[in-house]
Amino acid sequence: MTGAHGPGVRECPPERTPAVVLDLDGVLWLGDEPLPGAADAVARFRAAGLAVGFMTNNSSLPVSGYVDKLARIGVEADPSEVLTSALAAAELLAADLAPGSKVLACSGPGVVEALEARGFAVVDAGQPDPGPVEAVVVGWHRTFDFDRLDRASAAVRAGARFVATNADATYPAPDGLLPGNGALVAAVATAAGRRPEVAGKPEPPTVALVKARFGERGVMAGDRPSTDGALAAALGWPFALVVSSATLSGDEATDHDAAFVGPSLASLADKIIDALGPSDA
């Protein structure tokens, strides 16, 4: 379950089994609470011969952290199956910035891991005097404070490229909603006077990441039409909407074009398997 892994995009052969790509928060768990039947639904997808992916806009944990958290709810996952907005942000920068470029991480360890895996020299915004950097990546973290805001916004004002792992205003927790990375990014953007490039769902860097890992055919399941549903549309995949507190928060439009809607992943598993057809892989 542990062991070495590379979070960078892995080249895959063109012929691949269809995939179910699952959002995590609100689909497999709420905060630290597993959602009933979710692990069993993943087992049914695997038994049906489908590839399974896990795609979260939460960039705070390294990939191994999500593998471990999945294991705690009874889902065995390979690190290559886990995609985060931190990986999407690192891929976005790697398209233009040379390895060794200095990048300020105003984020949790997931972003640091993804940037280091792409060969960037990472400076933590929690450290004083970061010096000139070529890019700033803002990802969700609980230690965001005035000094980090000062360093990140100063770097952006000085001309650094400005990347947000994701722009979610909130994310679901067992007792309601918590501020999401969009709130931290808004503070940096306001102080810097510049808007960021966004890497996570449903933006093009994540579309590219999902296609590189899982190919052209799949179903995207998530609890937010604005991110998960929009990613499904960008991929050209059906969207399976799992209704959570985030779906009903008022942040989300009520007119979505989900192919399937249900109160849990378990309630949608048969429909998702049917939609992707029997696998001959």
Tell me how far, at minimum, the Cβ of 207 lies from Mg ion, in Å.
17
Site for Mg ion in 223-262 (CB under 5 A): 223
180 binds Mg ion (CB under 5 A): no
Residue whose token pair is 């947000």: 164
223 belongs to the catalytic site: no
Site string for Mg ion, 25-44 (x = CB under 5 A): xx------------------
Q: Please report whether residue 23 would count as binding Mg ion according to CB under 5 A.
A: yes
Shortest distance, position 259 Cβ to Mg ion, whole Å: 17
In angstroms, how far is the first alpha carbon of the chain from the final one?
25
Residues paired with residue 136 on neighbouring β-strands, in sequence order:
104, 162
CA neighbours closer than 13 Å in the CB half-sphere of residue 78: 8
Task: Give whichever of 25 and 91 is closer to Mg ion, judged by the CB atom.
Answer: 25
Does residue 257 carry a catalytic annotation? no
Residue 19 · residue 220 · CB < 8 Å: no
Which of these segments, 23-31, 157-165, 192-200, 269-277, binds Mg ion (CB under 5 A)?
A: 23-31
Q: Which residues contact 271 (CB under 8 A, 6 or more apart)?
A: 240, 259, 260, 262
Least Å from the CB of residue 49 to Mg ion: 26
**Closest CB 26 distance from Mg ion, rounded Å:** 4
Q: Does 168 bind Mg ion (CB under 5 A)?
A: no
Instruction: Give whole-number Cα distances, 253 to 11, 229, 234, 239, in Å.
Output: 36, 11, 18, 15
| Residue (17 or 249) nearer to Mg ion, CB | 249
As a whole number of angstroms, the distance between CA 70 and CA 61 comes to: 12
Catalytic residues: 23, 25
Q: Which residues bind Mg ion (CB under 5 A)?
A: 23, 25-26, 223
